Amino acid sequence: MATLHPFRALRPAPAAAPAVAAVPYDVINADEARTLAAGKPLSFLHISRAELGLPASTDPYSDVVYDSAKQNFDRLKSAAPLVVDDAPSVYFYRLRMGSHVQTGLAACYSLDEYDGDVILKHEKTRKDKEDDRTRHMLELGAQTGPVFLTYTAAPEIDALAASATAGAPLYDFTAEDGVQHTIWRVSGDTAGALVAAMGRVPRLYIADGHHRAASASRTRAELRRRGESRPEADTFLAVAFPHDQVQILAYNRLVKDLGSHQRPGELIEAVGKTHQLTPGPAVPARQGEVSMFVAGHWLTVPLKRSSGHSPSDSLDVSLLHDQVLAPCLGIGDERTDKRIDFVGGGRGTSALEYAVGSGKAAVAFSLAPVSVQDLMAISDAGEIMPPKSTWFEPKLRDGLLIHEF
């Protein structure tokens, strides 16, 4: 079962919502955060990336950063202002990007179910990133950015969503990147029906936000260690989308040099010894093929099927590593190898061409996206995906729904 908890959201007054809403803290670097927040005093980036208001040399994990986040959070509460709903509620959060639309159920979800693997994971987390968000939550006494969950679509929940979203929304605005964000508040009997319907969903899957979820669990553990009993800390903020509405884009690869090869032609020859290369498009035509950009040209690399029994071994990102990146370019662990970079599919293949053309990389690889069914199968098997396998688009915004504990 999936336990849904209505909560009293701390949220911006409607007129301030577009100015407060910010991209997730971990999809941009510090320089990009400074650019996005420039001239926008209400931007939630001043809280989620508080180092942007400090000298560029500031250690992002230093005490002053967390102190600034707390001060900026307190300031935003009165400046926006932020208001607290008068009764526990759940919320529908719709994202529209071009022709793609997805509507998820925003609420608090059970940390007991997260810890007990009723809510399944597919990524490893890094301790330094967990440390950062755990301290951020403890300093603010709040979870400020939602985890992105998915579940097998349920007609009962779809029907309740259609009814609830027929009314007037709390927020409805289009962000600078062209993504439309619309949120409805749901309380009373409809909220109760949603709690019951979600209770019949057998399991939830973390799509995006593994570090946020892990940090919420660690935050609860730290509060218990301190002897502080806070029932609100037994849950974490998330938005759960039906699987048939989730959009996954490719997570592409850049390799900074040619490894042991002196010229691009040598790399092409090395790959060609085991794969039949042909001129091809920048975006692979299907799963099982990868597009390689080198020496100003795109080549299609047909990958060989895996003989392994693990669902993860059959992913294109795994096959690319095993058949090309490791043997032909000497790439080791992609989580730690400094010679490889990753580019979310939302940036397009032009970003790959630019990186190679400008000399920032020697070769680029464009992949077909992983399917949500692959994600679920790997999670069900208790396996971990290779690093940087999925790029979810569009992104939820921080600061629109905040869970205080």
For 177-223, the pLDDT digits (tens) are: 999 999 999 999 999 999 999 999 999 999 999 999 999 999 999 99
Q: What is the pTM of this model?
A: 0.93
Whether the CA torsion 120, 189, 230, 23 is positive or negative: it is: positive
CB-count exposure of residue 342 (10 Å: 0-12, 13-18, 19+): middle
Q: How far apart (Å, rounded) are the C-alpha atoms in residues 126 and 6?
A: 30
List strand residue ranges (DSSP E) for 307-397, in order: 340-344, 363-367, 391-392
Q: How far is Cα 255 from Cα 299, in angstroms, rounded to an integer?
A: 16
pLDDT in tens, 105-132: 999 999 999 999 999 999 999 999 999 9
Contacts by residues 262-265 (CB-CB < 8 Å, ≥ 24 positions apart): 264/294, 264/295, 264/362, 264/363, 265/295
**Across residues 314-335, what is the average pLDDT?**
96
Residue 309, pLDDT score? 74
Please provide the average confidence, as pLDDT, over all residues in the chain. Answer: 96
What number of H helices and E strands is found in the chain?
Answer: 14, 21
d(CA 333, CA 135): 28
DSSP helix/strand/coil, 90 = strand
Q: Domain coordinates of the chain in residue numbers? A: 4-245+393-404, 251-368
SS3 269: helix
pLDDT tens digits for range 261-317:
999 999 999 999 999 999 999 999 999 999 999 999 999 999 999 776 788 999 999
Nearest Cα neighbor of 23 from 394, 341, 290, 279 is 394
What does the block give as tokens for 352? Answer: 């790959």
* Per-residue pLDDT tens over the stretch 50-107: 999 999 999 999 999 999 999 999 999 999 999 999 999 999 999 999 999 999 999 9
Residue 259 banded pLDDT, cuts 50, 70, 90: very high
Return the closest-CA partner of residue 76 out of 22, 129, 25: 22
With residue 33 as reference, give the H or E element that holds it. helix 30-37
Decide if pLDDT at 38 tops 90. Answer: yes
Amino acid present at 400: L
Interhelix angle 155-164/188-198, rounded to 10 degrees, is 160
The share of the chain scoring above pLDDT 70, in percent, equals 100
How sure is the predictor about 153, in pLDDT bands with cuts at 50, 70 and 90? very high
User: Count of CB atoms within 10 A of residue 162's CB?
Assistant: 11
What gap in Å lies between CA 366 and CA 254, rounded to an integer?
Answer: 9
**Model pLDDT, residue 1:** 81
Look at 72 and 1; give whichever has higher pLDDT: 72
Bridge-based pairing of strands 90-97 and 171-174 is unpaired
Please give the pLDDT value at position 368.
96
Q: What angle do CA 86, 2, 401 make, to 5 degrees?
A: 35
Give residue 347's pLDDT: 85
Note the pLDDT of residue 158: 98
Q: E strands, 144-226, where?
A: 147-151, 171-174, 180-186, 204-208
The whole-angstrom separation of Cα 277 and Cα 227 is 62
Q: Assess contact for 401 and 91: CB atoms under 8 A.
A: yes
Q: How many whole angstroms from its chain centre is CA 386?
A: 15
